Structure 1
Amino acid sequence: MTVLQALNHYYVRMAERGDAEPPGYSRKSIEVCVWLNPDGSIAKVDDLNDYSGKKPQPRRLSVPQEVIRTSGISSNFLWDKTAYTLGVGRDKDKKAIRFFEKEHAEFVRLHRERLVGSDDAGLCALLAFLNTWKPEDFEGDARFLPDMLDRNVVFGLTGGKLEYLHERPAAQRLIEEPGEVWKTGICLVTGEERPIERLHPAIQGVDGAQSSGARLVSYNADAFTSYSADSGANAPTSVQAAFRYGTALNRLLDRGSSNRLKIGDTTIAFWADAQGFGEEAAAAAEMAMAMGMEPPDDPSEATKLRDALVDIRAGRPPSAFPGLQSGTRFYILGLAPNAARLAVRFWLVDTFGNFFARLAKHFEALNIEPAPWNRPPSIRYLLVRTTALQEKPENVPPLLAGETARAVLAGHPYPRTLLTAVIMRLRAGDSLSGWHAAVIKACINQSVSEKEKLPVALNPESRDQAYQLGRLFAVLVGAQKEALGKVNASIADRYYGAASATPARVFGPLLRNARNHISDAQKRNKGWWIERRLEEIFSHLDPALPKTLTLEAQGRFAVGYYHERAPRSQSEAAQQEEGDNK
């Protein structure tokens, strides 16, 4: 099933549960409502923003579908920005007030034309307001604030039940009236002969794309057309199907949607198909997937997720999610900004059970001891901790987020670029943590077949030279600490990159200097364990150290270093302390 077909079906599911806008409507961010008296005078002006969070959040309302402004001046019906509704806005410098005579004149013309002959009290009040309003009145009316400029405005009627004009039955009848038919043809989504949409709907909610919305399907140059077809005729989609898929995707990508998440530059929308197992199974699948993609902090919810992952891997119905059916059809769409269009990073279709089993396999691959986390990490946070400069989400390498998410959800090997990015961050100065070691271990173990796989916990008997070199480097770092305590620049800070890439050149001087550290530590009655640990490691190393290590071997070095440097269990720590006291 194609992306548009799946979204078209999802709209039907939304409509059945009362969550879909009717034809002719779309959800937009609205920040101001001008309430009118029946005579057209202004009763009050409301700021519709929600100020409970860190940033003001506009109210999302179902309003008449937005016009597509490719060029020129076109007005929306019953709502628009202040430049159209009130004739005022800010200048290019966003400082001074500017009057928009042409835009406001178009708003007035449209409504006089469409509302002529209406006897509805609310629509008549709007006409009366437009006949008397002058843009200069904005500055003289204290009810209008400067922050309202360039915001989206709707109108309402007072004198009874407060109601937005676009929600009144008389307005709805006008909105649902069919518009002019551009062309007819066979719809590629439904297979029916219908009026064809010339310009596809704008999609909002993809981070990094144009705030006014970007399009999945668009043609704005002759190079994109074929067989003399223009605009939407290149990929004929009916007006009804275009409205449905646009409405469904915009709802999925709403900022507060539980079916939306962001990983790097990729915004992901996911949803289930209610056909086959019903709405309850579909809702349970979406809830479980949201939890699996972004594991919760709450301990009880984290336990619920772990139990579900175990059940799915074992082929049992997840008892933690009543009504969940593993065979429920599931869709995952990854989108990224691309100028005025949206790029599809990936489109995955499978059963929920298969997707969740792959998530379980991913979490299992990351398993390392000691574990650096209390709950399974999300893909998003994993990339931030291991590949982003200064651990800032915006610094995750481009394309890597989409490639990694696709690999996890499709069950493919992790991208080679993920291992490269983590190793590069370590060579650039990141302190090696369990997060780095877990990703490196997962990448390497998934890509090797016959060669020795990296262990979950410390394996002193490993024959892997790079792994043992990582352990050796960790012991040398420990020897310095035992001898000198905390220093400004440790061996790890100064030599980790070189030791992990060119061990033969670095370890000679480090080992010679280690003799001084061991002697100094023993004078302080500390570090008696170091020589025993060095003997153990050297018994597994070849006499000639490798001159260089490959990228994979550098990863094995990192995991060996982490295992050796990681905090020991209480019993081992006690044994080490006892050895130091001998």
Structure 2
Amino acid sequence: MSADAQLAPRVNYLLREDKHHAELYRDKKKRDDLQAQMAVYWINDSMNEGERGEIQIDESVLASILESGSFEDGTNNLTPPPELKQLEELLALPKTGREQALHLDKTFFHMAVLSANKARLVIREWIHTSISQLLMHLERYVAAVRIVQPTGEKGYLLPLGVLIRAVDMSPGLVRQCLRMIYQGALPPAELLPLALQRFRSLKVLSDPKETWRYHSSASLIKLVLTYGKEEANTMQSLNNHCLQPAYICGRLLAVLEEIQRRASGYRIGSTIVDRFYGAASTAPASTFGSLLRLSTTAHLPKVSVELGRLLEEVMKQLDEAGGFPTIFNLREQAEFALGFYHQRAEFRSRHQANQTKETGESQ
């Protein structure tokens, strides 16, 4: 049976019920947006009542990754959909336990992406897969996309709706991401340059109101770099054992920024990152020399010995990895961004911990 024939009798019901649909894309600047896309989804199975396991899941859990979440204050305090927590708990179950409890090979997930074409609805994408296969793909995606928060706190799963808004994905790119999430396709080629472009924006790097975009673009960068690899788990936060020169250079820039910030007592308006991130992340050999001279002469004498030792450790790692490369290609720029993001998050975590300790001691 064709996708159209299966879907037609269900459309009105699916579009009425919140648990069966999610808006994927809409250009809010246009009143009549023919590019707007809606995902509708449902589960069916061949089990009878006696076969159903103790654990039950529904469409809203499997599709929760699509939601936009909400921003409580309109800026950064993202509240992910509660179903995302249920999805992560489901993925954390041992695979054998999941199959026994859910009879996953007898249960199927269906999704269609719809858009308007004048007076008709058009199916732009059709996904049909067993729950066992679906959970395998979701598990791979979730591991790759999860990353520590900019504050250094444990990362939570960012919904696709947030990632779409963060980097302004096109409708076609959104559908490619659905194939990756639900069918195990490789990350789209255009995703990395788009995420990098957003990440290195001066506003995203420096404006507190753009923290959610900073977090989201870093999450997408990690997704592309680690999808389907063991590093998806080991690179969720700072990895002191990663010896990729680009990753180490990214860490180095974050260390130099922290030295500058501490030397000023955290009262500095703009940092070396605001002026030199673009150059450092593309042509490190010609950029870091002057930054290191500035740091060692003007800033390093004013900071703790501990931070000076960290600078020495990072420089030693870089020397052992072959020193500063002349230029970084696109993938190396992504590794640089990841190293910078991880090291910066680590510093912010320590800074908050110290502030909390000082507050506790003063009370």
1:354 maps to what in 2? 133
Q: CA deviation at 1:466?
A: 0.1
Q: Distance in 2 between matches of 1:559 and 1:317?
A: 33
1:306 maps to what in 2? 88
Aligned pairs for 1:32-51 (under 5 A) are none
2:11 maps to what in 1? 249
Q: Distance in 2 between matches of 1:251 and 1:373?
A: 39
Does the aligned pair in 2 maintain the 1:483–1:518 contact within 8 Å?
yes
Of residues 262, 284, 289 in structure 2, which corresponds to 1:482? 262
Structure 1 runs not aligned, ≥5 long: 8-244, 389-395, 578-582
> Which residue identity does 2:334 align to in structure 1?
G
Does the aligned pair in 2 maintain the 1:479–1:517 contact within 8 Å?
no
1:492 maps to what in 2? 273
Larger RCO, structures 1/2 (Cα 8 Å, 6+ apart):
2
* Structure 1 counterpart SS, 2:23: strand
Q: CA deviation at 1:447?
A: 7.1
> Which residue identity does 2:5 align to in structure 1?
Q
Q: CA deviation at 1:554?
A: 0.8
* Structure 1 counterpart SS, 2:241: coil
2:302 aligned with 1:531: no
Q: Distance in 1 between matches of 2:233 and 2:46?
A: 43
Q: CA deviation at 1:340?
A: 5.5
2:244 aligned with 1:464: yes
1:269 maps to what in 2? 40
Aligned pairs for 1:242-391 (under 5 A) are 245=8, 247-254=9-16, 256-264=17-25, 265-277=36-48, 284-294=57-67, 303-311=85-93, 314-317=95-98, 324-326=102-104, 327-338=106-117, 342-369=121-148, 375-385=156-166, 387-388=167-168
Q: Distance in 2 between matches of 1:469 and 1:453?
A: 21
Q: Which has the larger radius of gyration?
A: 1
Q: Closer, same or farther in 2 for the Cα pair 1:565/1:298, shift >3 Å? A: closer
Does the aligned pair in 2 maintain the 1:518–1:530 contact within 8 Å?
no
2:175 aligned with 1:402: yes
Q: CA deviation at 1:398?
A: 3.8
Q: Distance in 1 between matches of 2:154 and 2:124?
A: 29
1:417 maps to what in 2? 190
Q: CA deviation at 1:318?
A: 7.8
* Structure 1 counterpart SS, 2:290: helix
Name the one with the larger helix percent. Answer: 2
Does the aligned pair in 2 maintain the 1:266–1:402 contact within 8 Å?
no
Aligned pairs for 1:155-170 (under 5 A) are none
2:286 aligned with 1:515: no
Q: CA deviation at 1:566?
A: 0.9
* Structure 2 counterpart SS, 1:541: helix
Deviation per CA, 1:299-348, whole angstroms, max 9, x where unpaired? 9765533322222x6232389xxx85422122111223455655543211
Q: When the two structures are aligned, how many residues end up with a matched partner? A: 319
Deviation per CA, 1:84-131, whole angstroms, max 9, x where unpaired? xxxxxxxxxxxxxxxxxxxxxxxxxxxxxxxxxxxxxxxxxxxxxxxx
TM-score between both structures, scaled by the size of structure 2: 0.75
Identity over aligned pairs, percent: 27
Does the aligned pair in 1 maintain the 2:107–2:131 contact within 8 Å?
yes
Q: Distance in 1 between matches of 2:141 and 2:275?
A: 33
Q: Distance in 1 between matches of 2:291 and 2:170?
A: 34
TM-score between both structures, scaled by the size of structure 1: 0.49
Deviation per CA, 1:521-541, whole angstroms, max 9, x where unpaired? 52xxx3433321221111122
> Which residue identity does 2:38 align to in structure 1?
T
Q: Distance in 2 between matches of 1:258 and 1:248?
A: 14
Does the aligned pair in 2 maintain the 1:362–1:408 contact within 8 Å?
yes
Of residues 204, 219, 222 in structure 2, which corresponds to 1:441? 222
Deviation per CA, 1:444-478, whole angstroms, max 9, x where unpaired? 122779x9997233222322000000011001111
